[in-house]
């Protein structure tokens, strides 16, 4: 484990050196969104749970698909997926607290609280037959949602991410590729080094964690940098990582039987090989219905690298209920 941490420190130092040596760069455009995005996707705001949550809505239908983004992304992550899903379902894609159009707060970045935000939004909108689909940080929120509100869920999908406190979490967070877990969680330092250099810092993850980096276009990358442009938004993104100890404690304290169907999805070049261990860990933690789906020729950015494959997997998951 020590050698992993040492290697992670070296990797992290090299990345940070490249970021800092780039010097001050033109700041990405501040986040903004028109009231009508495209293809029937409407952008709206809701005052819920002590904050304002920005979300996209599209489609119709009795079944609702709630899409939760990861870091360093926003609800824009789902722009290739929403059109296909909205032809059959009501689709909601929200910015997590503090990101993009959602208002930042001083606290509330643990995944159980973020799940409360989403649950409050779902309740305010009167949505039924809900499936929560989360990628990366959003996948952690999806699991917390299942633990907090199992009676209000038809199913959850966790895409390409481990779950804090659930095996193989300890092994994963100590691996070299997860060096940024520690850096992002360092109060003040992360903000000081990344502010004004969001696009440079994020570029590393979009390029190195992808099989097809071009799947995330320059316009997409600019949108994500803009979603974390404000100091409070940048801090919010790092607070997701600072809350990991709290998330671990929450998940370890909720290990009663959970019958909510859980789908684990991973890219074959990213989290796919981890899925059997994660399924075993979730079952040991009380989950009784867990399935896996590995997407070929895919890195971490599943919704952008292989959107059609992801849509088929989600549709099959919903159809089996």
CA-closest candidate to residue 67, choices 49, 52, 85: 85
Least confident of 8-22, 147-161, 266-280: 8-22
Q: Between 262 and 29, where is the model more confident?
A: 262
Burial class, 120, CB count within 10 angstroms (exposed 0-12 / middle 13-18 / buried 19+)? middle
Is 69 marked active-site? no
- Transcribe 65-80 into DSSP letters: EEEE--TT--GGGGTT
* pLDDT of res. 320: 86
Question: Is 80 exceeded by the pLDDT of residue 110?
Answer: yes
pLDDT tier, 40 (very low <50, low <70, confident <90, very high otherwise) = confident
- How sure is the predictor about 116, in pLDDT bands with cuts at 50, 70 and 90? very high
pLDDT of residue 37 exceeding 70: no
- DSSP-assigned letter for residue 27: P
CA dist 50 and 72 (Å) reads 23
Work out how many domains the chain is built from and give that number. Answer: 1
Reported as a single tens digit per residue, the pLDDT across 305-317 is: 999 999 999 999 9
Catalytic residue among 136, 160, 220, 247: 136
- Over residues 223-250, the pLDDT tens digits come to 999 999 999 999 999 999 999 999 999 9
Distances (CA, A) of 78 to 61, 106, 250, 251, 302: 19, 27, 28, 27, 10
Asked if residue 21 has pLDDT above 90, the reply is: no
- The residue from 54, 119, 269, 300 that is catalytic is 300
Residue identified by tokens 């070049």 is 269
Phi and psi at residue 221, in whole multiples of 5°?
A: -65, -40
**138: its two tokens:** 């959003």
What does the pLDDT average to over 275-293? 98
Task: Give me the catalytic one of 55, 224, 241, 250.
Answer: 241
What mean pLDDT do residues 273-278 have? 98
User: Using an 8 Å Cβ cutoff, are 142 and 248 in contact?
Assistant: no
- What average pLDDT score do residues 112-136 get? 98
45 catalytic? Reply is no
Quote the domain boundaries for residue 172.
2-319
Q: Is 241 among the residues known to form the active site? A: yes
pLDDT tops 50 at residue 15: no
Q: How many residues does the chain have?
A: 321
**99 within 8 A of 67, measured Cβ to Cβ:** no
Report the chain's C-alpha Rg in angstroms. 18
What gap in Å lies between CA 186 and CA 165, rounded to an integer? 20
> What pLDDT score does 244 carry?
98
> Using 50, 70 and 90 to split pLDDT, how confident is the model at 321?
low
Q: Indicate which CATH number applies to the domain containing 264.
A: 3.40.50.1820
């Amino acid at each position: 484990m020590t050698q992993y941490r040492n290697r992670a420190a070296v990797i992290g130092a090299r990345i940070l050196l490249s970021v800092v040596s780039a010097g001050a760069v033109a700041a990405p455009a501040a986040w903004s969104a028109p009231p009508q995005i495209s293809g029937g996707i409407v952008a709206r705001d809701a005052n819920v749970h002590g904050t304002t949550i920005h979300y996209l809505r599209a489609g119709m239908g009795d079944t609702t698909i709630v899409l939760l983004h990861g870091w360093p992304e926003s609800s824009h992550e789902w722009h290739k997926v929403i059109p296909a899903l909205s032809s059959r379902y009501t689709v909601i894609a929200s910015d997590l607290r503090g990101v993009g159009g959602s208002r930042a707060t001083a606290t509330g970045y643990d995944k159980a609280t973020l799940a409360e935000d989403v649950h409050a939004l779902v309740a305010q909108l009167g949505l039924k037959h809900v499936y929560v689909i989360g990628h990366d940080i959003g996948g952690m929120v999806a699991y917390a949602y299942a633990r907090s509100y199992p009676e209000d869920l038809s199913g959850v999908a966790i895409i390409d991410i481990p779950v804090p406190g659930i095996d193989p979490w300890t092994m994963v967070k100590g691996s070299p590729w997860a060096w940024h877990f520690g850096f992002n969680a360092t109060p003040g330092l992360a903000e000081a080094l990344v502010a004004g250099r969001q696009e440079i810092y994020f570029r590393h993850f979009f390029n190195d964690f992808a099989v097809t980096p071009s799947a995330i276009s320059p316009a997409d990358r600019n949108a994500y940098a803009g979603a974390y442009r404000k100091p409070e938004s940048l801090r919010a993104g790092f607070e997701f990582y600072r809350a990991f100890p709290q998330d671990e404690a929450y998940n370890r304290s909720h290990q009663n039987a959970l019958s909510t169907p859980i789908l684990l999805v991973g890219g074959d070049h990213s989290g796919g090989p981890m899925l059997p261990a994660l399924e075993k860990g979730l079952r040991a933690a009380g989950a009784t219905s867990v399935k896996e789906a590995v997407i070929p020729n895919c890195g971490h950015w599943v919704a952008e690298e292989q959107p059609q494959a992801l849509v088929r997997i989600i549709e099959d998951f919903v159809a089996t209920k």
